[in-house]
Amino acid sequence: MTDRRSLYLTTPIYYVNDVPHVGHAYTTIAADVLTRARRLRGRDAFMLTGTDEHGQNIERIAQERGIPAQQHCDEIAARFRSLWERLDIRYDGFIRTTDALHKRGFLALWELLRKAVAPNGEKAVYRGKYAGWYCPRCEAFKTEEELKQPGNLCPDHERPCEWTEEENLFFRLSAYQG
């Protein structure tokens, strides 16, 4: 029996903190190969790639460069597109998290999540507090075990992490587990 389902293949949406590198190329080439192979077999495929253009690091980097954050994002996104062209990557869509299309899609998804009810009858998304050691450069929380002592240093940047407590939204995943 022939599989006629469409394949929707996406790369990560790459963070625009710096220019593209071999890791970005590797992932995107792999996605391109899979997409082309499917099409060669006469099957439908759609390949999406793009850039993630939000976060404290983007603001910091743009400030260090003395340019607006959107200009920085535009320049780096153009570098990604240029690299994909030079590598003959044939994507079907290039999404940027600053695009109006992405914003509309996110808001539609958010509205569904906001109204969603988990199987246990509670809201699927709820407010709660999260606290931990945060690395601004990684834009990620680090566990106590990961930190280098003394000084609670990020293992990647060897710079101090900041103790952060913040209110967040959480998805009630436990309500969906068997």
- Enumerate domains of the chain plus CATH numbers: 7-104 (3.40.50.620), 120-173 (2.170.220.10)
Buried b / exposed e across 129-156, counting CB within 10 Å, b at 16+?
A: eeeebbbbeeeeebeeebbeeeebbbee
Identify the residue whose tokens are 């309500």: 175
CB atoms within 10 A of CB 32: 20
What percentage of residues in the chain have a pLDDT greater than 90?
A: 89
* Cis bond upstream, residue 150 (ω within 30): yes
Q: Are strands 162-171 and 125-135 parallel, antiparallel or unpaired?
A: antiparallel
- The answer for 118, left when phi > 0, alpha when psi is -120 to 50, beta otherwise, is beta
The two tokens of residue 152 are: 């609670």
If you average pLDDT over residues 148-153, what whole number do you get? 90
pTM value is 0.81
Q: Give tens-digit pLDDT for 93-135.
A: 999 999 999 999 999 999 999 999 999 999 999 999 999 999 9
Which amino acid type is present at position 79?
R
If you average pLDDT over residues 14-34, what whole number do you get? 96
| Mean pLDDT for all residues in the chain | 94
Q: Facing residues of 15 across strands?
A: 52
In the prediction, which pLDDT does 165 show?
Answer: 95
User: How many Å apart are CA 150 and CA 147, to the nearest integer?
Assistant: 9
User: How many Å apart are CA 17 and CA 87, to the nearest integer?
Assistant: 21
The two tokens of residue 119 are: 């199987």
